[in-house]
C-alpha cells in the first residue's frame, strides 16, 4: 500500500513490536475465554455485484489489519498459535489478468513467518492440524471449531479501545492526510468549485483513491449541510453559495481519521456562528480526561449548544431550559462522538467489560455510539453540530416549544444548512491530546 512508503522506519521498529506483543496477549486472553487453542483471521474477499462479473471494492477485515498493515490483498490468512511466531498466509497467485500483490518487504514482516499461497485451497496445509479447537474470525468454507465466537469477539473489541503507541502514530498519520485533504477541499469551494470538485481536490491532496478512504466523504454546500449523512456530490457551480461542510477522513495502515470542518463563503452571521461552534468544540475537547462518562459529555455538549443558540438569538430561553425542554435536540440531533481506530465507528463502544456486558444508552439519547467512561489510550471523535433541519423544526412550529424559537433567525440561516466541527482526540493519563488540531497546525 502506497501510504506505507511514507511511514518512518521507527514506526515499524519498537513501536510495532510492542503493538504486536499486545495484540498477541489480547488474543491469548480471548482464546482462553472462548476455550480455543488457535486463532485464524481471514482478510476477506470482495463480494460480487448482482448478475455481474465485477466485484465491489475490497474492504479488509478490521481484525486482520490490526495484526498486519496489508489492506489491498484479499484471500490472506493470519494464523496464530500461542507461544509460536504468527504466520501470514499471503495470497500470491500466478495470474496474468491481475497483478499479484508483492510479498511484504517492510520491517514489520520480520515478525511473521510469511508463506505465499496460490489460492485458499492451498492454505489448508499451513493451518493447525486440527481445526476443532481453532477459532476463525471471518468467513471461510472450512469447518472450524468456532466461527466468530461472541465471547472471543467481545474480549477483543473491549480491549481494542486501548490504543497502542503504534496505533496512535498511525492515527496521527491518518489525521495528517485528512488535514491535507480538508485544506484542499475548502480551497476548491472558496475558488468556486462544486461539491464534486471539492471531493476530487480532497482525494488528490491526501493521495488516496475513493475506495481507500475509511468512509464515503460528506461534501455539502448550502442546504445540503442540513442532511447529516448527505450522500451526493453535485456538479453545479452556483455563484450564490453560502456555506460548505465537509466530513471526510483518510486512511493510514488501516487506521482512520474522521474530520469535519464548516466554513462560510462570506463574513456574515453564519461565519460568526461557525466561529462560535469552533470555540465551543475546542472548549469541549479540553474537558476530556480519564474517568469522564461519555453520557455526561453528551449532556454537556447539549448545554453548550443551548448557550450558543441563545447567544445567536435563535432561541428565546437560556441553555439550561433549552436542554430540559428538548429544544437543543432539534438543532443537535446526533451523538457527540464515538471510538475511532481500525473502523470509523470502532467496535466496543458499549462494552462494560470483556465479558460482553454492555452499558445502556441514557434515556433520550438514542443516537449515542459510546457509553463507556473514557480511559487513557482511547481515541474518540468530538463532533458537536448545529443544523437547520426542516423535518425536525417544522413539526414544532405551532407547538408550545416552537414559541421558544426565533423563526426569523432560523429563516435567515436555513439556506446555510448547518455546522459540524469534528476532531480526533487521544485520551492521555492526565487529560487529552487533539490529534486533528495538531495535524492542521503542522501544515502552517
- pLDDT of amino acid 151: 98
Q: What is the DSSP string of 256-298?
A: E--EEEEEESSSSHHHHHHHHHHHHHHHHHHT--TT-BHHHHH
Which tens digit of pLDDT belongs to each residue from 369-388? Answer: 999 999 999 999 999 999 99
Domain boundary among 93, 128, 160: 160
Longest dimension (CA), the chain: 73
Which tens digit of pLDDT belongs to each residue from 13-59? Answer: 999 999 999 999 999 999 999 999 999 999 999 999 999 999 999 99
- pLDDT of amino acid 127: 96
My answer on whether 339 and 405 are in the same domain is yes
- CATH number of the domain residue 180 falls in: 3.90.230.10
Which three cell numbers, joined as nine digits, stand for 207?
493521495
Which tens digit of pLDDT belongs to each residue from 180-203? Answer: 999 999 999 999 999 999 999 999
My answer on whether 187 and 284 are in the same domain is yes
**Residue that is written with C-alpha cell 481471514 in the block:** 42
CA distance linking residue 388 with residue 262, whole number of Å: 14
Residue 35: phi, psi to the nearest 5? Answer: 55, 50
> pLDDT band at 6, cuts 50/70/90?
low
> Is the per-residue pLDDT at 4 higher than 50?
no
Domain boundary among 134, 160, 186: 160
Question: Could you tell me the residue range of the domain that residue 331 belongs to?
Answer: 165-443
Secondary structure of residue 387 in the 3-state scheme: strand
CA nearest 315: which of 398, 385, 407? 407
The number of beta carbons lying within 10 Å of the beta carbon of residue 226 is 22
Residues 6+ apart with CB under 8 A from 274: 262, 263, 264, 419, 421
CA distance linking residue 346 with residue 321, whole number of Å: 34
Asked if residue 346 lies in contact with residue 338, where contact means CB atoms within 8 angstroms, the answer is yes
My answer on whether 148 and 171 are in the same domain is no
CA distance linking residue 124 with residue 290, whole number of Å: 45
Report H helices in 68-194: 150-160, 165-190
- pLDDT of amino acid 239: 81
If one counts the domains in the chain, the total is: 2
pTM above 0.75, yes or no: yes
CA nearest 342: which of 59, 95, 18? 59
My answer on whether 379 and 232 are in the same domain is yes
Write down the mean pLDDT value for the chain: 96
CA distance linking residue 64 with residue 77, whole number of Å: 8
H/E segment holding residue 146 = strand 146-147
- pLDDT of amino acid 2: 45
CA distances to 24, 68, 96, 134, 424 from 41, in Å: 13, 11, 28, 10, 28
3-state SS, one letter per residue, for 224-256: HHHCCCCCCCCCCCCCCCCEEEEEECCEECCEE
User: Helices 195-206 and 165-190, interaxial angle, to 10°?
Assistant: 140
> pLDDT band at 5, cuts 50/70/90?
very low
CA distances to 33, 37, 113, 286 from 129, in Å: 22, 12, 17, 53
My answer on whether 231 and 297 are in the same domain is yes
Residue 78: phi, psi to the nearest 5? Answer: -105, 125
- pLDDT of amino acid 3: 44
My answer on whether 362 and 218 are in the same domain is yes
- pLDDT of amino acid 332: 98
My answer on whether 172 and 147 are in the same domain is no
Average pLDDT over residues 206-219: 97
- pLDDT of amino acid 149: 98
My answer on whether 135 and 273 are in the same domain is no
My answer on whether 374 and 241 are in the same domain is yes
> Is the per-residue pLDDT at 68 higher than 90?
yes
- CATH number of the domain residue 26 falls in: 3.40.350.10
- pLDDT of amino acid 251: 98
Average pLDDT over residues 154-163: 98
CA distance linking residue 409 with residue 407, whole number of Å: 5
Q: What one-character DSSP code corresponds to residue 55?
A: B
Which tens digit of pLDDT belongs to each residue from 294-340? Answer: 999 999 999 999 999 999 999 999 999 999 999 999 999 999 999 99
Which tens digit of pLDDT belongs to each residue from 128-148? Answer: 998 999 999 999 999 999 999
CA distance linking residue 319 with residue 32, whole number of Å: 50
- pLDDT of amino acid 198: 98
My answer on whether 384 and 247 are in the same domain is yes
* Bridge partners of residue 255, in order along the sequence: 252
CA distance linking residue 75 with residue 129, whole number of Å: 20
> Is the per-residue pLDDT at 424 higher than 70?
yes
CA distance linking residue 66 with residue 369, whole number of Å: 21
- pLDDT of amino acid 364: 87
Residues 6+ apart with CB under 8 A from 404: 315, 316, 317, 322, 325, 327
CA distance linking residue 350 with residue 154, whole number of Å: 10
Average pLDDT over residues 277-282: 98
- pLDDT of amino acid 329: 97
My answer on whether 153 and 215 are in the same domain is no
- pLDDT of amino acid 10: 80
My answer on whether 376 and 267 are in the same domain is yes
Which tens digit of pLDDT belongs to each residue from 79-102? Answer: 999 999 999 999 999 999 999 999
Which three cell numbers, joined as nine digits, stand for 320?
439550561
The number of beta carbons lying within 10 Å of the beta carbon of residue 234 is 16
CA distances to 157, 341, 365, 378 from 350, in Å: 10, 15, 13, 13
Asked if residue 420 lies in contact with residue 248, where contact means CB atoms within 8 angstroms, the answer is no
Domain boundary among 160, 180, 203: 160
Amino acid at each position: 500500500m502506497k501510504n506505507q512508503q511514507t511511514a518512518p522506519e521507527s514506526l515499524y521498529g519498537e513501536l510495532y513490536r510492542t503493538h504486536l506483543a499486545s495484540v498477541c496477549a489480547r488474543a491469548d486472553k480471548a482464546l482462553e475465554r472462548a476455550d480455543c487453542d488457535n486463532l485464524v483471521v481471514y482478510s476477506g474477499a470482495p463480494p460480487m455485484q448482482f448478475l455481474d462479473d465485477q466485484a465491489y471494492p475490497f474492504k479488509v477485515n478490521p481484525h486482520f489489519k490490526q495484526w498486519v498493515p496489508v489492506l489491498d490483498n484479499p484471500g490472506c490468512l493470519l494464523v496464530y498459535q500461542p507461544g509460536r511466531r504468527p504466520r501470514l498466509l499471503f495470497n500470491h497467485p500466478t495470474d496474468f489478468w491481475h497483478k499479484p500483490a508483492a510479498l511484504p518487504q517492510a520491517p514489520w514482516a520480520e515478525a511473521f513467518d510469511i508463506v505465499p499461497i496460490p489460492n485458499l485451497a492451498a492454505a489448508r496445509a499451513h493451518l493447525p492440524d486440527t481445526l476443532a479447537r481453532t477459532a476463525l474470525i471471518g468467513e471461510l468454507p472450512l469447518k472450524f471449531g468456532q466461527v466468530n465466537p461472541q465471547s472471543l469477539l467481545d474480549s477483543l473489541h473491549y480491549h481494542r479501545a486501548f490504543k497502542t503507541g503504534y496505533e496512535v502514530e498511525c492515527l496521527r498519520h491518518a489525521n495528517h492526510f485528512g488535514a491535507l485533504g480538508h485544506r484542499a477541499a475548502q480551497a476548491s469551494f472558496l475558488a468556486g468549485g462544486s461539491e464534486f470538485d471539492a471531493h476530487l481536490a480532497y482525494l488528490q491532496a491526501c493521495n488516496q483513491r475513493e475506495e481507500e478512504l475509511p468512509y464515503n466523504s460528506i461534501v455539502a454546500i448550502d442546504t445540503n449541510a442540513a442532511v447529516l449523512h448527505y450522500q451526493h456530490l453535485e456538479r453545479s457551480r452556483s455563484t450564490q453559495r453560502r456555506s460548505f461542510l465537509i466530513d471526510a477522513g483518510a486512511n493510514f495502515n488501516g487506521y482512520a481519521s474522521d474530520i469535519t470542518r464548516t466554513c462560510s463563503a462570506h463574513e456574515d452571521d453564519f461565519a460568526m456562528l461557525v466561529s462560535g461552534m469552533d470555540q465551543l468544540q475546542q472548549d469541549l475537547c479540553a474537558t476530556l480526561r480519564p474517568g469522564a462518562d461519555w453520557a455526561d459529555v453528551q449532556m454537556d455538549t447539549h448545554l453548550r449548544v443551548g448557550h450558543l443558540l441563545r447567544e445567536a438569538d435563535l432561541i428565546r430561553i437560556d441553555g439550561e431550559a433549552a436542554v430540559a425542554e428538548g429544544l437543543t435536540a432539534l438543532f443537535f440531533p446526533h451523538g457527540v462522538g464515538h471510538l475511532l481506530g481500525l473502523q470509523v465507528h470502532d467496535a466496543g463502544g458499549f462494552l462494560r467489560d470483556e465479558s460482553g456486558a454492555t452499558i445502556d444508552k441514557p434515556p433520550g439519547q438514542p443516537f449515542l455510539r459510546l457509553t463507556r467512561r473514557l480511559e487513557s489510550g482511547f481515541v474518540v471523535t468530538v463532533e458537536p453540530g448545529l443544523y437547520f433541519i426542516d423535518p425536525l423544526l417544522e413539526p414544532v412550529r405551532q407547538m408550545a416549544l416552537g414559541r421558544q424559537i426565533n423563526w426569523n433567525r432560523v429563516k435567515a440561516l436555513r439556506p446555510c444548512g448547518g455546522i459540524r466541527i469534528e476532531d480526533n482526540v487521544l485520551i492521555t493519563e492526565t487529560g487529552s491530546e487533539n490529534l486533528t488540531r495538531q495535524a492542521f497546525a503542522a501544515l502552517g
